[in-house]
Amino acid sequence: AIQVTQSPSSLSASVGDKVSITCRAGQDISSALAWYQHIPGTSPKLLIYAASSLHSGVPSRFSGSGSGTDFTLTITNVQPEDFATYYCQQFKIYPFTFGPGTKVHL
């Protein structure tokens, strides 16, 4: 299985900040990576697919970059509704492993 790691595991932010989360795959996955936002008590939401494509309806303050093994999710101008846990997931090889998550908190 492809190991997927994320850093940091948690980060503190204020409204208006710019934050970045890194996701690293244990082997080359090209651009087969997605990012999700998960707020407790709700279902996860897709933010980014194919490493850098913004899902329909997702605010443009979210962006993704990277390919191969290293990927980044960036949130510019953090809003109150962005405090959540963020996960990356690789889709190159089964099983489609998730990263362990990054909690963005105040």
Partner 1 sequence: QVQLVESGGGVVQPGQSLRLSCTASGFTISHYKMHWVRQAPGKGLEWVSIISEDGFSKYYTDSVKGRFTISRANSKNTLSLQLTSLRPEDTAVYYCARGNLPDLYIDVWGTGTTVTVS
Stretch that binds partner 1, among 10-18, 44-52, 60-68, 73-81 (CB under 8 A): 44-52
Q: Is 89 in the site for partner 1 (CB under 8 A)?
A: yes
Whether 88 contacts 35, CB under 8 Å: yes
- Torsion, Cα of 100, 32, 72, 106 (10° steps): -40
The maximal CA–CA distance of the chain, rounded, in angstroms, is 38
Stretch that binds partner 1, among 16-24, 26-34, 62-70, 75-83 (CB under 8 A): 26-34
Q: Is 24 in the site for partner 1 (CB under 8 A)?
A: no
State the minimum distance, in angstroms, from the CB of residue 70 to partner 1: 17
